[in-house]
Structure 1
Amino acid sequence: MTRRRTGRRTGAAGALTLVLLAGGAVSPTGTPVAHAEPRACTEDQVRYVADEPSGLARLGARRAWALATGRGVVVAVIDSGVSTTNAHFPAGSVLPGRSFVGGPATTDETGHGTAIAGIIAARDIGKRSGVVGVAPAATILPVKISGGESGGDEAEQRAANLARGITYAVSAGADVINLSLSTSSDRRDVRSAVAAAVGAGVVVVASAGNREQATEVKDGLRYPAANPGVLGVAATTGPDEVTEDSIHGPHVDLAAPGDTVLTTFRTGGDCVLSQQGQSTSYATAYVSGAAALLRQRFPSASPAELSHRLQSTASRGTRTIRDDLSGWGVVQPYEAMTAVLDDTVAGPVRPGGAPRASLPPAVSTVDLTPAPDPRAPARETVLWLLLGIAVAVLGLGMGRMLRVPRGS
């Protein structure tokens, strides 16, 4: 079972710690980059990491690709934009999208949206880089709701533009919407936009919340993850422990890797994103990628049916138990695509299925009254007989002693 991580939180709220791990990098030409210490990822130098992202192995992505790669599926990334100058996003992999903050949606000043898009659908560029998305053939629809030319506070921009961004994504043909963001406010406009998206057949996936970025750091509901029909996602470490930064609550449905994530970096190259303050953002992207695989595999399934598949087949310690840390467990797309699900499968109730009755435990009364012994009369007879024999023997012995002459 997943557990809460007990390590110390580090880093400033909202900031990314960008680290290129030593020994795993190559230059744009494929020549290894030699360095003894971790080096910061910077805009002015393009580096690639030859290692495969560990999250792909945890999700069993390569096994899942034998069944689906996300081809024909459109995933909307409602975020800070997606940089199409990154080599992992060749022509046709990212749509023009729309920006609500000025400038094209295919630019990204913060790098957050590009990192999310890379986890979902980065293209394989050969031996120079191991980075590839969970759904490597899916198409990204960038919807830019923060950053851009208008400047201003990003949190306010996201809040003001989120509902419009969701509505646009649905109208532009999104099959999956990734929302790597959260708030403690249940906005009516966002709730309505999410309901319309789910009603239109779109799978909506949202962050369960990052403690270090939240104004309210206590556990509890976060939105849009807590809105009906949305999959809320917590982040885990390599050992499947929920990160300390993940906010816990009944809105958590699934978990996915979110700590030390290797993905696409801004305008070019790769980077390991090691800051916990963004952990559920990356975990959300992994689940969105898994949802894209399922959407290709089951094109006519409803969002509720796909969500049920993802939750029922998630990896967890006890099949019948959900908790507020990791929901139903770590997402497993291959199992979600191959499982035969009915009312007998442990886990969440399937859409349209009969609720499982919660029967009280059976209580029985133990009668401690001694039962009658059917052999008691026989035992009593034998006891008296033995007692009689003992008395007779004792009497004979005493009589013999009295008959012995005193002088002998």
Structure 2
Amino acid sequence: MTRARLAAAVVAGLLGGAGLVATSAAPAAAASCDKDKTTYVNEEPQALQRLNARFAWTLATGRGVTVAVVDSGVEAKNAHLGPVLVGGRSFVPDLGARGDAVGHGTAIAGQIAARPVKGSGVIGLAPDARILPVRVFYADDEQSRSAGVGPRPDRIAAGIRYAADQGAKVINVSMSTPSDDSRLRDSVAYATKKGSLVVASAGNRNVSENKSDGPRYPAAYPQAVAVAAVDTADQVGEGSIHGPHVDVAAPGTRILTTFYAAGDCLLEEEAESTSFATAYVSAAAAMLAERFPGEGPAGWKHRLEATASRDQRDTRDDSAGWGLIQPYEALTALTDGSVSGPVAPGATRPPVVAAPATRLDLTPASDPRAPERTAATWWSLLGVSALVALALGGVLRPGRRRAAT
């Protein structure tokens, strides 16, 4: 098995020092994962098995749907991704969208829509979707941050708007900041009005300077889908930020996906990553956009939430939100309000009204044949009395005396 573990966090200062933007990290090349040497892993990603991908593919594969990856760029030279990319733009000066210095965006794109390649088992959850690469940062090292080419809210917001204008139905943002930024907020609202669903990372504790639980943006905006990460046991660990903003969860550990231009690599073997979990939710959303194009962003979000697996069907929690996504169930569920969980768009949950208390009436019901029954009872009693009298008369009758002899 080809393996690599994630490097240190991508943490960049925001414009004006308002907060921090964080991604997971750039995939670091381990000894068995060399970005300068193409290697394929002939094994299907474990996450696809856990998400019952093959059942979902009988209904949708993301065909005709464009997913924007607002990230570090996407490496077009990776054989899984070359045929997938459409258009693209870089908001980083002097760089194109179809390149990736840190491998983060390339890994995300592969999870969403990697095409099959001979000798490799890697494939995306929405293998017929298209990828629109939107490059909003170059790298995460100190030199890049000082040069202003790290992740920044203004560029992320511009990337979201661009993706919506290009017709992307799903916009993947595997980055987060604890600061509510008006540019990010407005960009998510703009994308929603254009018919795009923004899917974003709920935040990673291990790569953020602010390790406290609480909302992360743009995930926390109400129109977006905020994604937590689960481990191989489908449990949300402490590495994933918890909070009221979390909507759903998806696999974020042991992610087998595309690696730079070098084929495949296994990433995040230990700690779960919400960046990678976000990619799987974006892919599921693309499948929903194919099957239910008329439902729009709010409808797709509701399907993801309502059909997610959880212990209590009517409640969410701050770690996994409404639970682990179930693509097949989301593709087949009825949205008539019969599914327990979040309220469907445009609907209101009916109030629970207690049944009115009623006093138990112990008054006997009237019997219309009561007179007849009473008469019959008296005749029965008279008959019984007569029989008793006759019987007693026989017993008490004096015997005849015998004549004396």
Q: Residue 84 of structure 1 is aligned with which of 51, 72, 76? A: 76
Count of matched residue positions in the alignment of Structure 1 and Structure 2:
335
Asked if the contact 2:230–2:252 (Cα under 8 Å) also holds between the matched residues in 1, the reply is yes
Asked if the contact 1:17–1:275 (Cα under 8 Å) also holds between the matched residues in 2, the reply is no
Query: What is the aligned partner in structure 1 of residue 34 from structure 2?
Result: 42
Q: Could you tell me which amino acid in structure 2 is paired with residue 313 of structure 1?
A: T
The answer as to 2:158 corresponding to 1:167 is no
Asked if the contact 1:343–1:354 (Cα under 8 Å) also holds between the matched residues in 2, the reply is no
Unpaired stretches in structure 2, ≥5 consecutive residues: 1-5, 11-24, 358-405
Against the structure 1 CA distance between its residues 17 and 87, is the aligned structure 2 distance closer, same or farther, given a 3 Å change threshold?
closer
Q: Deviations over 1:157-177 (max 9, x none)?
A: 332301111111111111100
Asked if the contact 2:289–2:300 (Cα under 8 Å) also holds between the matched residues in 1, the reply is yes
Task: Determine the C-alpha separation between the residues in 1 that align with 2:287 and 2:328.
Answer: 9
Q: Deviations over 1:95-121 (max 9, x none)?
A: 230001131100000000000000000
Q: Residue 152 of structure 1 is aligned with which of 129, 145, 156? A: 145
Q: Could you tell me which amino acid in structure 1 is paired with residue 127 of structure 2?
A: P
Query: What is the aligned partner in structure 1 of residue 21 from structure 2?
Result: none
Could you tell me the TM-score, scaled by structure 2's length?
0.78
Q: Could you tell me which amino acid in structure 1 is paired with residue 41 of structure 2?
A: V
Query: What is the aligned partner in structure 1 of residue 89 from structure 2?
Result: 98
Query: What is the aligned partner in structure 1 of residue 50 from structure 2?
Result: 58
Against the structure 1 CA distance between its residues 352 and 272, is the aligned structure 2 distance closer, same or farther, given a 3 Å change threshold?
same
Asked if the contact 2:65–2:130 (Cα under 8 Å) also holds between the matched residues in 1, the reply is yes
The answer as to 2:244 corresponding to 1:239 is no
Asked if the contact 1:207–1:233 (Cα under 8 Å) also holds between the matched residues in 2, the reply is yes
Q: CA deviation at 1:319?
A: 1.1
Q: Residue 67 of structure 2 is aligned with which of 75, 80, 99? A: 75
Q: Residue 178 of structure 1 is aligned with which of 172, 181, 200? A: 172
**Higher Rg:** 2
Q: Could you tell me which amino acid in structure 2 is paired with residue 158 of structure 1?
A: R
Q: Residue 325 of structure 1 is aligned with which of 319, 331, 335? A: 319
Task: Determine the C-alpha separation between the residues in 2 that align with 1:162 and 1:100.
Answer: 9
Task: Determine the C-alpha separation between the residues in 1 that align with 2:95 and 2:129.
Answer: 24
Q: CA deviation at 1:266?
A: 0.5
Against the structure 1 CA distance between its residues 343 and 111, is the aligned structure 2 distance closer, same or farther, given a 3 Å change threshold?
same
Q: Could you tell me which amino acid in structure 2 is paired with residue 43 of structure 1?
A: K
Query: What is the aligned partner in structure 1 of residue 339 from structure 2?
Result: 345
The answer as to 2:221 corresponding to 1:230 is no
Task: Determine the C-alpha separation between the residues in 2 that align with 1:212 and 1:362.
Answer: 54
Report the secondary structure of 2:257's partner residue: strand
Q: CA deviation at 1:244?
A: 2.2
Report the secondary structure of 1:301's partner residue: helix
Against the structure 1 CA distance between its residues 157 and 341, is the aligned structure 2 distance closer, same or farther, given a 3 Å change threshold?
closer
Q: CA deviation at 1:264?
A: 0.2
CA RMSD of aligned residues (A): 2.4
Q: Deviations over 1:165-207 (max 9, x none)?
A: 1111111111100000000011101100100101111111000
Could you tell me the TM-score, scaled by structure 1's length?
0.77
Q: Residue 134 of structure 1 is aligned with which of 125, 137, 142? A: 125
Which 4+ stretches in 1 moved above 4 angstroms? 15-20, 153-156, 275-278, 358-363
Q: CA deviation at 1:44?
A: 1.8
